[in-house]
Amino acid sequence: MSSGIGLVLSIAKDALAAQQYGIYVTSHNIANVNTPGYSKQTAVFEAKKPAPFGGVLLGRGVDTTEIVRASDQIIENRVMQQKSSLYCYKEMENYMLAMEGLFNETSDTSLSTMLGEFWNLWHDISNDPSGTAERIALYEHSLLISQQFKSVDSDLLQLNTDLTNAVKAGVGRVNEITAAIANLNNEIAGLEIDASANDLRDQRNVLASELAEYIDMKIFEQSNGAFTIVSAKGVVLVNGNDGYDIELDGSSVKWQGSGGNKVDITNNISNGKLGGWLDMRDEIVAKYKQDLTELASEFIWAVNKQHSQGVGLTTFSSATGTYSASAPGAVVTTFASGLDYYDKISGGTFEVWVYDSTDTLANGGGTTVTVTGVTTLNDIATAITALDPDISASVNADGKLAITTTNNHTFAFSDDTSNVLAALGINTFFRGSTAGGMGVNDVIGSDKDYIAAARIDSDATSSGYGTFAAGDNTNALAIVDLQYTSVSISEWSYDRINGNTEGTSTATIEEYYHSLVGSLGIKGSSISRSRAFNEVMVNELNTMRESISSVSLDEEMTQLMQYQHAYAAAAKLISVSDEMLHTLLGVK
């Protein structure tokens, strides 16, 4: 009889212990109800193997076999993968908003507004070619439009720098996370010899989830519970208790192997914050910065080409080009010459008009300089010097064509079919050839009379041959017409993976700019839609995860009451057994 009472006491003791485990686990769940990434845990009970007693098999109570966490790693991985896409588009959306703000199309200082005003001011000059106020207004506005081009270009360059700095910080955080995951792998593998390290697994998943915010990756679980994490280009970020760093080398992201070898993975990072930053820097910002420069370059060229055909209110006593030839002995139509606009020069001629101190043609008429497919800058200087004893040309130390006169002689130009004057920066309106290097020719800054609104009469049969009038607006009207003239402008497509492609757009200057800004808006809207879609997907997957892993206080309180009642019942068993034992001992 006493052995039977002992069995009851043993069962009661195990029952008390089991319910205590249950209460411990429930308490742990309640305590972590607001802990990010925590997965609900449950104590698993199992009936003990029965034992023979008095000819029958009697149960021996309960064992607590394990404490399991409610988690589905497949769903966890899907959440991480979707988060990687979401954070890619989130970062891109943020930078797109900043980028759209740089162009500021709703402002009076937008390039669109300023381009329109530029043509209007040339129209004002065409109405009053000798007007001082009109010339000053055009000059001042041209300074502003040059500054606006430079400002947007500088802001885009700064955005590029900011993105590189963001990548650098992101790379550092990735390395911190992978090192922490490797340490947790080591702890988990050591602890799970006898039991499941549930809380450490949750901590590791939280870190892995944050890692997915930075870089696209895949997770593989080893037999010992450790994670192997593989990222772009198949490089291993974590393998067991080993973490592998990535680094920013210049503008490239490189993976460092255990042997010290480095692998460039820049163009293989497609998602996460790093992917978004790299896409913004190397594709979107780079494209629009280049397109802006193409626009500025063509705008400068179109105005300069026409301006170089005209004449201001006064002729030149000296002139120096604004563009340098790094190799004055090279053919001007070739890249080797070093001229910014070498590709715009073609075979042709231009007229040089030399005037004496009384503004009379010194040589009876315009003198032609010929440019061919073998002409060098030195050749052009020699040809100009040969035109008249009182004019000479040379190439200065900066590689620029410099023209001077003696005996109070002056000179002017007309009828350039070779485009060489504009390519050399002689008698031009703007200087520079890029958005960042654009400015107004210093010659015009020093004297607004050099704004070339007129044209020299080059008709040899005309009574005004070789002259120009203060009221002549021929060249000003030609520049106004540029507003409606379609030109061929390069338009770029940047792709980190497949490379960059140069296309061509045929449009007016303003049409090209409107297309540029319009495409920027379309790109921004597309990114916002992708962000919204991925946000919905992440929320849905998180809902699935929460339905499996989250702690419900209602459920836990119900479970707690069940454990409490079971504990009380087990305690009652001990009390009853004690009474039975006392009764047995009282029998005489």
Q: pLDDT digits over 332-350, tens only? A: 999 999 999 999 999 999 9
Tell me: the pLDDT tens digits for 101-158? 998 887 888 899 999 999 999 999 999 999 999 999 999 999 999 999 999 999 999 9
pLDDT at 3: 60
Phi, psi of 293 (to 5 degrees): -65, -40
Contact 361, 457 (CB under 8 A): no
Residue 256 Rama label (left phi>0; alpha psi -120 to 50; beta): beta
Q: What is the mean pLDDT of residues 397-421?
A: 96
Q: What is the Cα–Cα distance from 248 to 229, expressed in whole angstroms?
A: 20
* Per-residue model confidence (pLDDT) at position 78: 93
Best CA proximity match to 313, nearest among 527, 120, 492, 456:
456
Q: pLDDT tier at 234 (50, 70, 90 boundaries)?
A: confident
- Looking at residue 267, its amino acid is N
Q: In the structure, how many helices (H) and strands (E) does the chain have?
A: 13, 21
* 1 confidence band (pLDDT: 50, 70, 90): very low
Residue that has been written with the tokens 């459920």 in this structure = 555
Going by C-beta distance under 8 Å and a sequence separation of 6 or more, which residues neighbour residue 338?
Answer: 324, 325, 326, 327, 330, 399
Q: What is the mean pLDDT of residues 422-446?
A: 97
Q: Residues in the chain, how many?
A: 588
The closest alpha carbon to 254, from 240, 241, 269, belongs to: 269
pLDDT at 245: 93
pLDDT grade for 567, boundaries at 50, 70 and 90: confident
| Contacts with 490 (C-beta within 8 Å, 6 or more apart), sequence order | 291, 294, 502, 503, 504, 505
Q: Residue 302: its pLDDT value, please? A: 98
Task: Return the pLDDT at 220.
Answer: 92
Percentage of the chain lying above the pLDDT 70 cut: 99
Average of pLDDT values for 302-307? 98
- The CA-based angle 418-422-426, given to 5 degrees, is 115
Q: Let me know: does 62 contact 44? Beta carbons within 8 Å.
A: no
3-state secondary structure of 62: strand
pLDDT tens sequence across 13-59: 888 888 898 999 999 989 999 999 999 999 888 888 887 777 788 78
Q: Report pLDDT for 106.
A: 78
Q: How confident is the model at residue 467 (pLDDT cuts 50, 70, 90)?
A: confident
Residue with tokens 């563009």: 323
pLDDT band with cut points at 50, 70 and 90 for residue 233: confident
Lowest mean pLDDT across 14-23, 89-98, 200-209: 14-23
pLDDT over 80 at 532, yes or no: yes
Percent of the chain with pLDDT over 90: 69
Confidence grade of residue 303 (pLDDT, cut at 50, 70, 90): very high
pLDDT at 588: 52
- In one letter, which amino acid is 287? K
Q: Which residue has the higher pLDDT, 571 or 122?
A: 122
- Residue ranges per domain, the chain? 2-70+554-585, 75-86+162-280, 104-159+281-524
Lowest mean pLDDT among 51-60, 161-170, 341-350, 555-564: 51-60
pLDDT at residue 4, rounded to an integer? 66
Give the pLDDT of residue 578. 72
Asked whether the predicted pLDDT for residue 246 surpasses 70, the reply is: yes
Q: Do residues 43 and 18 lie in contact, with contact meaning Cβ atoms separated by under 8 Å?
A: yes
- Lowest-pLDDT range of 139-148, 186-195, 391-400, 513-522: 186-195
Residues 387 and 354: beta-carbon distance below 8 Å: yes
Mean per-residue pLDDT, 81-108: 92
Position 64 scores a pLDDT of 86
Residues 103, 108, 112, 118: is their CA dihedral positive or negative? negative
Cα–Cα distance for residue pair 125/352, rounded to 1 Å: 25
